[in-house]
Homo-oligomer: A and B are copies of this chain.
Amino acid sequence: MRLESFPGNYETRKHSSFQVYGENVSITVVDVAKKATVSVTTVSRVLNNQPQVSPERRQRVLAAMEELDYKPNQVARDMRRKTAGRKTGQIAMMLINLDDYTMHTAFMMQYIHGVQQEIAEAGQKCIFVTWNDEFGDDTIPQILLDGEIDGVVTKGFPCTEIGKQWLNRYPKIILNPPVAPPDYDCVMVDYEAGIRDCITYLASLGHRRIAFVDMQMFHCKLLGYRRAVDELGLDADEGLIQTRDIIPPLKSESDLDWAIENLWSLSEPPTAILSNDYYCSAIYHALAERGLKVPDDVSIIGYDNAVDHCEALKPKLTSVDIEAVELGRLAAKQLLDRIRKPQGSHRKICTRGKIVERKSVRKL
């Protein structure tokens, strides 16, 4: 194959894709340039959709690419880009200090899915990393040390100084933290609004005495409850609020007989109960022991929409879906924004969730 009509001079090239060299022969811009009788520069321009290429030549290049089944070497591109002070096109999805409870929760999966989707649509890559403080500082993921990524979406936060330091090197978004940290971008569920939606929903079905039962991280929710009850002019009986504060990992503490006991000691018991999906299971149980039927005697509405669980209960539990996939997407979207524009004040984005109707609520 002679190359007379071909403008570039690539004599220095030690091998072309036409001669087998080792075993990993790959088609490069040089090969495409040869085939299309243009320079590598032109090929690169076509590759990057730059305007200053004549339609005719662009065609030739595209045809050559097609014919040779050319695939750009992403790693090489990344290198040029990165060293040109640009971005690597990689972001990390970090799960830091995941406790066993979170580990067994389906939300995480949805968060990750959402993040990945959004990142992929932006043509970037999502590198997945889990890390715990107890692993020790010498196990900090290489990727974070390398600076190979443009930013981080993190669920959880490192507690060690060193951990904080490396995380702080990057633009980052905190995914649904239990409490919103100041000076960070984060994306979170607006539990308050979600609960208000629940109350509004129940009120629209004629419920006026709605109980609030919870044992964990319920302060936002309780706020929403109080506001909604107030705004809608429902019965604001403090006896309808049954809470206990337990330490997070003890979600397994599922006995809620005391709550039902208290509620049904009221002169007028509630017609509806609001709680968390998993607590609802205990509530069903406690109600059954008293001979109370759901939803005939009491309506129940859960929070989190743990689908398997809600569907497994009898009757199936109506619950508030926090839309975790969407939350993941929002986090990724905001991260990409932040990477583009590192300055600017921090933002907190909230989603309010959506009620998924099943069989545990009835119209009065």
A residues with a Cβ closer than 8 A to B are: 22-24, 26, 71-76, 78-79, 82-85, 88, 93, 95, 98, 100-101, 103-106, 108-110, 112-113, 116-117, 120, 123, 125-130, 139, 141-143, 145-148, 251-252, 254-255, 277-279, 281-282, 285, 288, 306-309, 311-314, 316, 325
Q: Which residue of chain B has the shortest Cβ distance to A78 in the bound complex?
A: B75
A-B contact pairs, 18 of them (CB 8 A): A71-B145, A71-B147, A75-B79, A75-B82, A75-B83, A76-B79, A105-B106, A106-B106, A116-B130, A123-B142, A125-B143, A126-B127, A127-B127, A254-B312, A254-B313, A278-B308, A281-B281, A282-B312
Given A104-B106, A109-B106, A316-B252, verify A85-B22 contact (CB < 8 Å).
yes
Q: Which residues of B contact A103 (CB under 8 A)?
A: 106, 109-110, 113, 325
Cβ contact of A314, chosen from B72, B117, B281, cutoff 8 A: B281
Contact A312 B278 (CB under 8 A): yes
What is the chain B residue whose CB lies nearest that of A314?
B285
**Cβ contact within 8 Å between A308 and B104:** yes
Q: Closest residue of chain B to A307, judged by CB?
A: B104
Selected from B82, B112, B255, B316, the residue in CB contact (under 8 A) with A73 is B82
Q: Which of B109, B281, B282 contacts A105 (CB 8 A)?
A: B109
Provide the residues of chain B in CB contact with A109, threshold 8 Å. Answer: 103-106, 108-109, 112
Cα distance, A100 to B104, chains bound together (Å): 17
- Given the interface contacts A313-B281, A314-B254, does A93 sit within 8 Å of B146 by beta carbon? no
A interface: dominant SS:
helix
A126–B128 contact, CB under 8 A? yes
Determine whether the beta carbon of B281 is less than 8 Å from that of A312.
yes
Give the docked Cα–Cα distance between A316 and B147 (Å).
46
The answer to whether B116 and A146 have CB atoms under 8 Å apart is no
Q: Is the CB of B311 within 8 A of A252?
A: yes
Known: A106-B106, A109-B103, A148-B74. A125 touches B123 (CB 8 A): no
Q: How far is the CA of A104 from the CA of B76 in the complex (A)?
A: 38
With a 10 A CB-CB cut-off, give which of A103, A106, A139, A255 has the most chain B CB atoms: A106
Nearest first, the 5 closest Cβ-Cβ pairs linking A and B are A24-B85, A281-B312, A252-B311, A74-B146, A128-B128
**Within the assembled complex, what's the spacing in Å between the Cα atoms of A106 and B309?**
11
Complex Cα–Cα for A177 and B4 (A): 56
Residue of B nearest to A257 (CB): B314
Residue of B73, B128, B308, B325 touching A83 (CB-CB under 8 A): B73
Report the minimal beta-carbon distance from A328 to chain B, rounded to whole angstroms. 11
Bound-state Cα–Cα, A82 to B95, Å = 29
- Of all chain B residues, which has the CB nearest A88? B75
Q: Tell me whether A75 and B75 are in contact (CB under 8 A).
A: yes
For the complex with contacts A22-B85, A71-B145, A104-B308, 16 further pairs of A-B residues with Cβ separation under 8 Å are A24-B84, A74-B142, A74-B146, A75-B78, A75-B79, A103-B113, A109-B112, A120-B130, A123-B142, A127-B128, A128-B128, A252-B311, A254-B314, A255-B314, A281-B281, A306-B309
